[in-house]
Amino acid sequence: MEAVKHIHEDTVIISASKGIEQERLLTVSAIINEITAARGRSSQDRVFAREVIDKRPTAVTLAAKNQDIALLLQEVFNTDYFRVYTHSDVLGVELGGGFEKRYRHSLRICDGMGLGHSARAALITRGLSEITRLGESMGADKRTFSGLSGLGDLVLTCTGPLSRNYSVGVKLGQGQKLSGILSATKSIAEGVATASSAYGLSIKMGVEMPIVEQVYEVIYKEKNPADAVSTLLSRTLRSEF
């Protein structure tokens, strides 16, 4: 909030943040727009979402509604190890970038249950399908989710090792309840709130997100993870798209 007074008409604001605000379910660019607009400085065309990974060869998406600014920043940030692609779908890049985070619980629960790589692959693919439906309902471009922000992040998660034994999700998958896990470890419920905001968005937008819903049930309603898997597998048969 303090930074607002330093923002001029031609200031370019770059957001590299993921995640959704808990209470009102807003993305970071929406919050930036709200704050700058309240000061009479609309940043509608100056907000960016950018995926930064690390310094080895990589590719990122830089989204801006104003394509002149996107092209300018592409020139500024692109190097011989950091390839920058422009995109106009700010909302999609923001939502897609947080995809991995929102489905991390389901992956960990899956790991904790010992269901293996195929179940993981199915969870992730159908998860991307859910998030794409949600994004479309919010006005994002569905192609965005199969790009670097979305699929790219997802692949980064998948290339990591199976989840560590001490994570909350793995313990849930092993049959422990959230209350017991939290009191035993004194840890904060890392990412637990994320599961709640994803569920909140699916309700708000009226989009069917069965994985998000089951994760919510396991975390907040103490549903047995095996029953959650059964629920997912016994849904009405349908076509893939």
81 binds a copy of itself (CB under 8 A): yes
Gyration radius (Cα) of the chain, Å:
19
Least Å distance, CB 106 to a copy of itself, is 12
Element (H, E) at 83: strand 82-87
Nearer CB in complex with a copy of itself: 47/128: 128
Helices 210-220 and 192-205 pack at an angle, to 10 degrees, of 130
Residue whose pair of structure tokens reads 């629920």 in the numeric block: 231
16 binds a copy of itself (CB under 8 A): no
109 binds a copy of itself (CB under 8 A): no
224 binds a copy of itself (CB under 8 A): no
Cα 136 to Cα 170, 197, 206: the distances in Å are 31, 17, 12
β-pairing, 13-15 with 58-63? unpaired
Which parts of 56-75 interact with a copy of itself (CB under 8 A)? 56-59, 61, 74-75
126 binds a copy of itself (CB under 8 A): yes
Cα 19 to Cα 94, 145, 159, 188: the distances in Å are 8, 15, 22, 18
Among 6, 10, 206, 234, binds a copy of itself (CB under 8 A): 234
Taking the CA of residue 53 as centre, how many other CA atoms within 13 Å lie in the half-sphere pointing to its CB?
Answer: 20
Among 118, 139, 179, 186, binds a copy of itself (CB under 8 A): 118
β-pairing, 13-15 with 47-50? parallel
Which parts of 37-56 interact with a copy of itself (CB under 8 A)? 53-54, 56
Least Å distance, CB 90 to a copy of itself, is 13
Residues within the interface to a copy of itself (CB under 8 A) = 53-54, 56-59, 61, 74-75, 78, 80-81, 83-88, 115-122, 124-126, 128-129, 132, 141, 143-148, 151-156, 158-160, 162, 229-230, 232-234, 237-241
